[in-house]
Structure 1
Amino acid sequence: MTPVILLLWLVAALLFTAGLAVAIRRSALARRVVYGFSIATCGFAIAVALVHLLASPAITSTAVLPLGLPWIGANFRLDALSAFFVLVINLGGTAASLYGLGYGRHESEPRRVLPFFPAFLAGMNLVLLADDAFTFLLSWEFMSLASWALVMTRHRDDDNRRAGYVYLVMASVGTFALLLAFGLLAGPEGGYAFKTIRAHGASSGLTGLVLALALLGTGSKAGLVPLHVWLPLAHPAAPSHVSALMSGVMTKVAVYGFIRIVFDLLGPPAWWWGVPVLVAGAGTAALGVLYALMQNDIKRVLAYSTIENIGLIFVGLGLALAFGGNGMKAAAALAMTAALFHVLNHALFKSLLFFGAGAVLTATGERRMEMLGGLLNRMPATGLLFLVGAAAISALPPLNGFASEWLMLQAILLSPDLPQWALKLLVPVVGALLALAAALAAACFVRAFGITFLGRPRSEAATNAHEVDRLSIAAMAILALLCLFTGVFPALIIDALAPVVDALTGTRMPVQTHIAWLSIVPVAESRSSYNGLLVFLFITISASLAAFVIHRVASNRVRRAPAWDCGFPDSSPATQYTADSFAQPVRRVFGGFAFRATERVDMPAPGDGRPARMTVTLHDLAWELVYDPVVRLVNFLAERLNHLQFLTIRRYLSLVFGALVLLLLIIASWP
């Protein structure tokens, strides 16, 4: 049995699990059956993809089923690119299923989650295997609808209903853009099979339009600014293990869609293709982390952080297009490797962080950081594992986030060799924005971890918090270990990605595992190199030595003194730093142009017993400038067109006759 047939059987097993969940939804065993089957199925899919990627990456496994469009059927294909993304998606699916075994016991509406969870996994896998436009779009829509149903789990909540509505509208816009893109690629002959599209490619005059439609269609699902408006609404609304799948995994399916269309189906790249992708990626990275810094809801912080990381990935893809269009294949391979490496890394640490946020929500019932604090003493395992994820997403060595972002900066440093002045000027600006985003990401997660887990409890819920179940901790621990492993041994990941990069750019990075001490040398040793293993050993030895010296050499004499209280004698937890106060310096520097932030202080006069208050107002410019005018226009037109339903039969007939004459005139004048 070929690998693609095996994976299709696994997709069928997931769909069967979804149907089984409906049948046994009232059983006490439903949760264990659904998540247990999902773990087994996703684990098997990981094995199939890993074997294909490492053992036979040059071989493509294909299958055609008598479904879909009558003249081409339903085409499926497993190559190196789809195998890598199948690995990423099912790695996240396995971890989410394991987490769901424990977390699902605390779900308020488990019967609504269980049927759609395996269906969501099946839809994502089908997108990766699809090898014709019809099957791709059908799978894409199935994935979107399954995830929408999961977002609407708590449909009685007004915010969740709004999130589901916005998500559905944006998903429809993205699918329509992809439909147009595939229509242009297929041409007038209607060759919707990907092999047919590869054979003739798109005409040179249409490549820019196809690129724009692909960026719109996949960017709306990935969360590129200003197409991101649904993401911070939908991801926090879903259950936490579903949020991890949507944020850490589903956004990677969108990245896959962009790579498949632009790097595979559209033909050899031109240098200017990289310009809009670089601009969109850099702007998304900078604005995403700024949005994250302004949030008080921990799940919204993580959702906006996903936008930042998607921006980083698209910067890598834009660099690969710019270098590839200029024939700089080695530089293109480096940029593509950095982008794909970050795809894997983000799936790991973002899933870990959403699991940690779900554990906090389970233990306290709170998502607002202002109502948390002091959780490290009450939830030590969750706190430690969340800290690993926060360090990884902040790109701190020796964890995996640093390795991929370091590779991306190495690719940016090759930009002076680009011949076009537009790229020579643009890429350094992009590099500066990425450096700013990295610094703000570190501040963002110092804030998130510090306010949530350190200090003293700010509420009764935080005071009474308790550690979560072992299965949830096990899922987080596995992801934390993978974050450490991929950061300490990046050479193994880079070499495993080589077949994918070679298929997309025509070359690969030099073999890294042959370098001593498992160092990575992306270009040449004279430029730069990095060794995650040595950094890990240095940090471990120096930290252990410092702890030993402190415990052995320091005085054992007990000293008692009043704790430093920043000049405030009040011991109330309300005197601690809050999430808003931590973000205030950043808000005052960037908030004016990024959010049109305003601060209003109400200071009572002497003798007035009212408390002083400061009100901060932030504006989502993307929503106000792009979507609000559209909403107002639609409402205006709807009110005007509402009169049509009150026309007489004669006016209806006249209207139909006029429309028919107009269409005939258009057809008659068509060249």
Structure 2
Amino acid sequence: MIFLPMNIAFFSIFLLLLAAALAFLFNRNQKFLIGVCFSMTTIASLLMVAAGGWAVGKGITNQVILPMGLPDLLFHLRLDPLSGFFLTVIGLLSFFVSIYSLGYVKGFLGHRSVTSLIIFYCLFLAGMFMVVLADDALFFLISWEVMAAASYFLVMFEDEKIENRRAAFLYIIVAHVGAIAILLSFGVMAGLATGFQGFSGYTFDAMRATNFPLGWATAAFLLAFFGFAAKAGVIPLHVWLPEAHPVAPSNVSALMSGVMLKTAIYGIVRVTFDLIGVFPWWWGAIVLIFGLVSAVMGVLYALMQHDLKRLLAYHSVENIGIILIGIGLAMIFTSYQMPLLAALALTAGLFHTMNHAMFKGLLFMGAGAVLHATRERNMEEMGGLIHKMPWTAAFFLIGCISISALPPFNGFVSEWLTFQAFLLSPSLPSPLLNLLIPMGAALLALTGALAAACFVKAFGVTFLGHWRGPHKPDVHEAGWTMRIGMMLSALTCLALGVLPTVFIDWMDVLSEQLVGAKIATSATGIGWMWLTPIAHERAAYSGPIVFAGIMAIVVIAYILLHARPAAIKRVPIWDCGFEKITQRMQYNATSFSMPIRRIFGFLFSIKEQVRLVSQYGHRAFPKKLHYHLRIRDLFWGWLYKPVVDASFWISRKVGRLQQGKIHVYLIYSFVTIIVLLVFLR
């Protein structure tokens, strides 16, 4: 029997495919096409939120077998609380971004056709939804490839730019390396589920019912973690992410960073907690270590960036790391039979999954509005945009506060819950964990401080001060549909931060499904206003009270400032004796991050050049100073460049086989046939 939520999900995917077909068939009136197709994706996304939210709220599980696929390999779909949660997250951000896209995509009209953008946007959403609904390895991998291929073509949208082509090529290589690892992981589990005697083990139900030997289970887990980590941008598999996300259209960047990465988180949780189910503590330690490294290194690399969208892309690496910290802790506590702590850590990780989707989508939409208005991504050229784009600046500021984990917004709550999981951890039998857990708490605190510094830089350099570039563009505020998309995302960030107990109570069925415990009883035990993980004697947080206190301070400050307007005097600021102040004398992105670059310089590949142009032939009379700074990803030089160099070397050697002569190729074929006959007779 197909329940209503599954029917709604089917109809949502049908709408997306219909929108893609309409864009393909009727592409002459581009402006009309944008309105119709993105309206359909908006409705489809909202329907998916309803389906997913219903599945989580009611705790239902519905499985469907479609008469499609291969004769003995039909498609299986499953809507349960875990898939429902991720459908809600993907659908909610897709809803906001689709509204935003109604105005944003019109910016391409007159320059290029948007037909391919609309088609692959629809297929991209459909692919993500199908990944989350898949209940067998075949349908999962097909959906995974649809998602990967669609996002590849979206990154390639402005294909006349070499940076787009290079980023898309790098992305598709890493995506397929990860897909091969996922395929092998499913192959191991499916083979064990049937004793390597057939194909029935390809369903997730068969894998759930199998008690995997530790060695094979470890192989499946490591392969799956590698494959999903490549998609999520976990360090050191992250190199594609800061290349692809900045060059994609900004509505696509919002979806790739906000929710596409979360399909990998879904895969890790599904394989580990659901399909395998039983695991040793050191699996969790592996996930925790990769999470900590990604969080710290991601935020440090973000601080060094001058490209606004590239900065946001590196922050996705950081936040994926924070999510993995919660998942890793949940795995450790589960292996030691501590279900309540496991539920707390898992809730923290999954809640941050939703929070990151909301504020990262908001920030990329804000960056897209800035790019739409200025045609500029380099923060060194920006400044003073708050005067021309006040709404965009306000929404971007909310995103900055949220991602910096400051109350009363959502990022604070999920990171605070992660800290509580660290602090409530008891002494464990493993000495490694007793060292790793307090160290992890310290590194998470460092990450939070660096993130706050990074977004002071991002907002201050972009929106405050004066325009830094040589030619100031005719800046304009974002269109009303773009502002609505950003506003809804900003309000969601506020709602998740002020009323976290409501959302935790809604998603509590997830921890019960995966680790066998719920935290809502303790978390909301003293009322909806107080969030109390485990016990209110240990820690408690009230979003409504904090929000009310902040608003009271703002109102009082406003009243005091405007009660006696005559007492306020506006005078020129002290200019340190300089008579001619120019916009180039402002603090810029490079100067802001310089102290942190000096401290953590050993973690970067830095090349700094200073060249002085003097007059009268003497350095004592400087005329110009040229400063060049290049910061490269350390992992690219250590890990990827040797592989690339080796690939080019092998290609050159193998290329000698291409003689361009038909008789040589016939000899190759003849020799190959002889070898096959000898060894396969």
Give the TM-score range, shorter chain. Answer: over 0.9
1:180 aligns with 2:184: yes
1:637 alignment partner, one of 650, 656, 667: 650
Residues 136-285 of structure 1: matches in 2 within 5 Å?
Answer: 136-187=140-191, 188-189=196-197, 190=199, 191-285=201-295
CA distance in 1, matches of 2:605, 2:476: 40
Distance 2:27 2:576 in 1: 55
Conserved 8 A contact 1:309-1:346: yes
Matched, 1:394 2:404: yes
Aligned to 1:669: none
Matched, 1:43 2:60: no
Residue identity in the other structure for 2:360: K
Whether 1:18 aligns to 2:28 is: no
- Is contact 2:55–2:61 with CA below 8 Å preserved after alignment? no
Structure 2 residue 41 is the aligned partner of structure 1 residue 34? no
**Range 433-442 or range 266-275, more displaced:** 266-275
Cα RMSD after superposing both structures: 1.7
Partner of 1:133: 137
Residue 670 of structure 2: which of 639, 650, 653 is its match? 653
In the TM superposition, 1:501-512 aligns within 5 A as 501-511=511-521, 512=523
The answer to whether the 8 A contact 2:388-2:476 is kept is yes
| Alignment-derived partner of residue 537 in structure 1 | 548
Paired AA for residue 319 in structure 1: L
When structure 1 is superposed on structure 2, of 450-459 and 102-111 the one drifting more is 102-111
Deviation at 1:31, TM superposition (A): 0.2
Moved more, 616-625 or 495-504: 616-625
TM-score norm. by structure 2 comes to 0.94
Aligned pair partner of 1:562 in 572, 580, 586: 572
Q: Deviation of residue 635 (structure 1)?
A: 1.2
2:539 corresponds to which of 528, 531, 536: 528
Residue type at the aligned position of 2:536: E
Select the residue among 460, 472, 475 that pairs with 1:450: 460
TM-fit CA distance, 1:4: 2.1
Paired with 1:660 and 1:449, the residues of 2 have a C-alpha distance of 68
Which of 445, 448, 458 is the equivalent residue of 1:438?
A: 448
**Matches of 2:244 and 2:23, distance apart in 1:** 23
String of CA shifts for 1:232-276, please: whole Å, max 9, x gaps. 111111111111000001011111011111111112122111111
Q: Does 1:74 align with 2:81?
A: no
State how far apart, in whole Å, the 2-side matches of 1:202 and 1:661 are.
39
Which stretch shows the higher mean deviation, 147-156 or 416-425?
A: 416-425
Secondary structure at 2:64 match in 1: strand
* 1:455-480 Cα shifts (integer Å, max 9, x gaps): 01223665631111111111111111
Mean CA deviation greater in 337-346 or 59-68: 59-68
Q: What letter matches 1:85 in structure 2?
A: F
User: How far apart are the structure 1 equivalents of 2:668 and 2:459?
Assistant: 65
Residues 427-436 or 475-484, more deviating? 427-436
Q: Are the equivalent residues in 2 in contact too, given 1:4–1:76 (CA < 8 A)?
A: no
Q: CA deviation at 1:661?
A: 4.7
Kindly indicate whether residue 578 of structure 2 is the aligned counterpart of residue 595 of structure 1: no
Shift of 1:118: 1.0
Q: CA deviation at 1:526?
A: 1.9
- In 1, Cα distance between equivalents of 2:563 and 2:568: 15
Count of residue pairs brought into register by the alignment:
660
Which residue identity is paired with 1:94?
F
Instruction: Pick which of 167-176 and 598-607 moved more.
Output: 598-607
User: 1:80-124 CA distances to partner (integer Å, 9 max, x unpaired)?
Assistant: 000000000011111111000011110243222111111111000
User: Which amino acid letter does the alignment assign opposite residue 531 of structure 2?
Assistant: I
Instruction: Give the secondary-structure state (helix, strand or coil) at the position aligned to 1:615.
Output: strand
Q: How does 1:477-626 map to 2 (within 5 A)?
A: 477-511=487-521, 512-516=523-527, 518-553=529-564, 556-557=566-567, 559=569, 561-591=571-601, 593-603=602-612, 604=614, 605-606=618-619, 610-626=623-639
Match of 2:94 in 1: 93
Give the conservation status (yes or no) of the 8 Å contact 1:374–1:462.
no
Take 2:557 and 2:264, find their aligned partners in 1: how far apart are those partners?
Answer: 45
> Are 1:345 and 1:483, in contact at CA under 8 Å, matched by a contact in 2?
yes
**What SS does the aligned partner of 1:153 have?**
coil
SS of the residue corresponding to residue 62 of structure 1 reads strand
- SS of the residue aligned with 1:200? coil
Task: Compute the displacement of 1:72 (Å).
Answer: 3.6
1:416 Cα deviation after fit: 3.4
Partners in 2 of 1:11 and 1:463 — Cα distance?
41
Report matched runs for 1:327-406 at 5 Å.
Answer: 327-406=337-416
**Aligned mates of 2:666, 2:37 — CA distance in 1:** 55
CA drift at 1:550? 2.2
Alignment partners' CA distance in 2, 1:462 and 1:46:
42
Aligned partners of 2:222, 2:677: CA distance in 1, in Å? Answer: 33
Q: How far does residue 619 in structure 1 lie from its aligned partner after superposition?
A: 2.4
Distance of aligned partners of 1:633 and 1:334 in 2 relative to their CA distance in 1, 3 Å threshold: same
Aligned to 1:6: 8
Q: Percent identity?
A: 44
For residues 401 and 576 of structure 2, the distance between their equivalents in structure 1, rounded to whole angstroms, comes to 27
Encode CA deviations 1:30-49: one digit per residue, 9 max, x unaligned. 00011000111111111122
User: The residue matched to 1:336 in structure 2 has which SS?
Assistant: helix
Question: Against the structure 1 CA distance between its residues 522 and 540, is the aligned structure 2 distance closer, same or farther, given a 3 Å change threshold?
Answer: same
Equivalent position amino acid for 1:128 in 2: V
Alpha-carbon distance in 1 for matches of 2:229, 2:223:
9
What is the CA deviation profile of residues 516-572 of structure 1, one whole-angstrom value per residue up to 9, with x for unaligned ones? 35101102122111111111111110121122112214x615646432235533221
Deviation at 1:371, TM superposition (A): 1.1
CA–CA separation in structure 1 for the residues paired with 2:412 and 2:519? 18
Q: Secondary structure at the match of 1:611?
A: strand
TM-score scaled by length of structure 1: 0.95
Distance in 1 between the 2:427 and 2:319 partners?
Answer: 26
Check whether the contact 1:69–1:134 (CA below 8 A) recurs between aligned residues.
Answer: no
User: 1:364-399 CA deviation, whole Å, 9 max, x = no partner?
Assistant: 111111111001111111101100000000000010
| Matching of residues 412-431 of structure 1 within 5 Å | 412-431=422-441
Task: Supply the distance in 1 between the matched residues of 2:578 and 2:395 (Cα, whole angstroms).
Answer: 33
SS at match of 1:597: strand
**Which residue of structure 1 aligns with residue 640 of structure 2?**
627
Deviation at 1:69, TM superposition (A): 3.5
Q: How far has the Cα of 1:655 moved from its partner?
A: 4.8
Tell me if structure 2 keeps the 8 A contact 1:373–1:462.
no
Q: Please, which moves more after superposition, 67-76 or 223-232?
A: 67-76
In structure 2, C-alpha distance between the alignment counterparts of 1:632 and 1:342, rounded to whole Å: 39
